[in-house]
Amino acid sequence: MIGMIWAQARGGVIGDAGDMPWSLPEDMARFKAITMGHPVVMGRRTWKSFPPRYRPLPGRENIVITSSDDFVAPGARVVPNLDEALATALAIDDEVWIVGGGRVYRDAMARADRLEITDIELDATGDTTAPVPDASWRVVMRDPAEGWHASRTGLRFAYRTLERRAERPRERHGSLVE
């Protein structure tokens, strides 16, 4: 299972100037609960976005992608591309979480089975956006089902889980074959 997890403001903004333009402790707690014990895959910029005292993310094998030969990420495995990151992660565990950022989410979209998205009711200015799930995805859970949770920060937010639809029947000779 390859999952991707992110939080987004209206319009899909996930980051600005190397950081997230909000603070949502409830989302951080959920991120920790979902990813704990599983390998996490991230781009070099996302690794850099964590304050040094918070990296590597504890209790999880951290796998960082970079094209640089001499990049050092103490406590993490450094790999040269997404394929190697996923192969490394899946050799450790059959549940893997891609934790950012925009480039890696976009590149990994076709490989993912599940998306855990936190929607934040916020108009944020940002330079990084999440990919938009296409029609091959369906929402299997929204929490709350309607409306919003209220954060102790005052922000309103909701969680969505998306999974891939079962593959559509293939069309052969003009007719649908189950």
Ligand X SMILES: NC(=O)c1ccc[n+]([C@@H]2O[C@H](COP(=O)([O-])OP(=O)(O)OC[C@H]3O[C@@H](n4cnc5c(N)ncnc54)[C@H](OP(=O)(O)O)[C@@H]3O)[C@@H](O)[C@H]2O)c1
Given the rule CB under 6 A, which residues bind ligand X? Answer: 6-7, 14-15, 18-20, 42-46, 49, 65-68, 71, 80-82, 99-104, 107, 128
Q: What are phi and psi of 11, to 5 degrees?
A: 80, 0
Strand partners, 99: none
Nearer to ligand X, 61 or 116 (CB): 116
Nearer to ligand X, 67 or 175 (CB): 67
**Minimum distance between the CB of residue 109 and ligand X, rounded to whole angstroms?**
12
CA dihedral 49, 52, 54, 58 (to 10 degrees): 110
**Minimum distance between the CB of residue 173 and ligand X, rounded to whole angstroms?**
39
Tokens found for residue 4: 């991707």
**Minimum distance between the CB of residue 144 and ligand X, rounded to whole angstroms?**
20
Q: Could you identify the residue written with the tokens 């009711």?
A: 121
Nearer to ligand X, 81 or 165 (CB): 81
Give Cα separations from 2 to 45, 49, 83 (angstroms): 21, 22, 12
Tokens found for residue 157: 């937010």
Nearer to ligand X, 61 or 108 (CB): 108
CB atoms within 10 A of CB 111: 13
Nearer to ligand X, 5 or 173 (CB): 5
- Under 8 Å between Cβ of 118 and 61: no
**Minimum distance between the CB of residue 15 and ligand X, rounded to whole angstroms?**
2
Alpha-carbon gap, residue 131 to 152, rounded angstroms: 28
**Minimum distance between the CB of residue 146 and ligand X, rounded to whole angstroms?**
23
